[in-house]
Amino acid sequence: MKKKVVLGVITLVALSLGACGNKTVGNQKKVGNSDVAFGQAARTSHACAWYVTKSKALPQSNTPLQAIVITQNGRALAFRVPGSFTLRAATKLSIRQLRQKGPTLARQDFTQKRRTLIALTRRELATEEQNLRRNQDATVVSFATIKTDKRLIRSYQRQLKKLQETKFKQPRALRFSVTVIRKNRENQERIKVRTYDFVEAVTRTNNQTFRYQKTRHNIFTVPYTHTSEKTVQVGRATLGYYQNSHGDYSDYALTKLKTPNTKVKFDS
């Protein structure tokens, strides 16, 4: 039996940080005092945090986040956060506090997702077992149908066992990549960072399954095509952002700015 699963958007708490990219080490690139670019700032010794979210309107204090990324010295520490974490809560925490709380937040998100997937898989398994009993009791049913039912049941049983045995993996700082391309007369900033998360896959039985693995496509899922025309004020924090609009929603990657005049720009 096939069903499309949509995991609920996990709302998250964002965390406060200092302005990005004003210090350098050795031959690292400098970022001007008036602008911040993800890749350039990430290669400096100054830690910088980016808050990732999806929203219909410009993010505000109560906007839930999906993930947080901390960059420093050419590496990015990325992790998902649970649904109770908001942008306002984020601005109250320092980078140091964010690093300390990050593993706990990531574990909470992992636990919630795994619990949801286990419950879903159990429901799918129960449905297929019911289908098998009904088909076995039917007067006319093909051998191929019975065989398919049994194959689906074995597949769900294997998936359930894997989910129950899956262990949380601590997030750690890893290398990232940034590319800027020109497409449809506009710049696109493509950011790829690696982290662990549940990734959807399709089995040979064509039923949906999820694997917990390292991936680089689930944090910054789209290339960003716009930078902030105006800043977002959350308490005392001033935030700039990358944005990509599609349909009724926009994807955002926000970061704290040193001054209201500081701009977020594309890497060059």
- Evaluate whether residue 196 is within a structural domain: yes
| Residue 86 belongs to domain spanning | 35-99+171-264
Q: Is residue 182 part of a domain?
A: yes
pLDDT tens, residue order, the chain (268 aa)? 444 433 333 332 232 333 463 333 333 344 445 689 999 999 999 999 999 999 999 999 999 999 999 999 999 999 999 888 999 888 889 999 999 999 999 999 999 999 999 999 999 999 999 989 888 888 777 888 888 889 999 999 999 999 999 999 999 999 999 999 998 888 999 999 999 988 887 655 556 788 898 888 889 999 999 999 889 999 889 999 999 998 899 999 999 998 888 999 999 8
> Is residue 13 one of the residues assigned to a domain?
no
Q: Does residue 195 form part of some domain?
A: yes
Provide the domain count of the chain. Answer: 1
Q: Is the residue at 86 inside a domain?
A: yes
pLDDT at 217: 80
Does the residue 58 lie in any domain? yes
Q: Would 244 be classed as within a structural domain? A: yes
Q: Kindly report the three-state secondary structure assignment for every residue of the chain.
A: CCCCCCCCCCCECCCCCCCCCCCCCCCCCCCCCCEECHHHHHCCCCCEEEEEEEECCCCCCCCECCEEEEEECCEEEEEECCCCEEHHHHCCCCHHHHHHHHHHHHHHHHHHHHHHHHHHHHHHHHHHHHHHHHHHHCCCCCHHHHHHHHHHHHHHHHHHHHHHHCCCCCCCCECCEEEEEEECCEEEEEEECCEEEEEEEECCCCCEEEEEEEECCCCCCCCECEECCCCEEECCEEEEEEEEEECCEEEEEEEECCCCCCEECCCC
Which pLDDT value is given to residue 204? 58
- pTM above the 0.95 mark? no
In a domain? residue 85: yes
